[in-house]
Chains A and B, each alone.
Chain A
Amino acid sequence: DSGVTQTPKHLITATGQRVTLRCSPRSGDLSVYWYQQSLDQGLQFLIQYYNGEERAKGNILERFSAQQFPDLHSELNLSSLELGDSALYFCASSVGTSGYLDTQYFGPGTRLTVL
């Protein structure tokens, strides 16, 4: 158990809908990362938050947004869903500073299926 939790584990929805994925980082970690794992794109970085502030953006679609709350949990919002958004979405957390402790630990992922 990495200490990172994600809910829900599975999500099945229809095209055009909106969903919210939730992540709670490990105790003491300030940084949260979101990754998408799909068959054709592999593991892709979406977005990073550090202590409530957006720190970096990757290949995140405009239909997707995220935020990190004062208690450090994070939510990834996916809207106007398309079939191609079906994927495994991972959250990872780290202390957020450089050095030995800056290792990302992953949650169990949320499997999103868009029908």
Chain B
Amino acid sequence: AQTVTQSQPEMSVQEAETVTLSCTYDTSESNYYLFWYKQPPSRQMILVIRQEAYKQQNATENRFSVNFQKAAKSFSLKISDSQLGDTAMYFCAFMKHADKLIFGTGTRLQVFP
């Protein structure tokens, strides 16, 4: 069975600084997808970024980028130029083809002015 581990329950960063959230996963699959979702105080689940396991190039979306290390089964999220609006719970998630999402326990990120 697949598992997703987020070892940082809480993190904080100052506005405009860079922060990295960690995620590791365990799977015997070779083809899969990894995601970061953001859950702000509104509780809405918002897709931040996604990575296909067969792609070696790390995904980027504006200020958000990932460091995907397939052999190490690591999938960290880097947020550059942090903004107050980035304050949220961040969930790492694993998915096989057209299958359910398996979530980590989340990292609560607080951005300070």
Contact = CB atoms under 8 A, between A and B. Distances in A.
B97 A56 contact: no
Interface stretch (B20-28, B40-48, B60-68, B69-77): B40-48
Contacts of A33: 100-101
Interface residues of B, number: 22
A98 to B, nearest CB: 4
A90 B97 CA distance: 20
A109 B91 CA distance: 16
Nearest to A43: B103
Contacts of A56: 99-100
B15 interface: no
Contacts of A104: 47, 95, 101
A109 B101 contact: no
Interface string A49-80: 01000011010000000000000000000000
A24 interface: no
Interface residues of A, number: 29
Interface in A28-50: 31, 33, 35, 42-43, 45, 48, 50
B87 interface: no
Contacts, number: 57
A108 interface: yes
B102 interface: yes
A94 B97 CA distance: 11
A27 interface: no
Given A100-B52, A103-B35, A45 B102 contact: yes
B100 A105 contact: no
Given A45-B102, A97-B98, A98-B98, A106 B45 contact: yes
Interface of B: 33, 35, 37, 42-47, 50, 52, 91, 95, 97-103, 105-106
Given A35-B101, A43-B101, A94-B98, 8 more contacts: A2-B44, A43-B91, A43-B103, A45-B101, A58-B100, A92-B45, A100-B52, A109-B45
Q: Which 10 A-B pairs have the closest CB atoms?
A: A98-B97, A106-B45, A45-B100, A43-B103, A98-B98, A108-B44, A102-B98, A42-B105, A96-B98, A103-B50
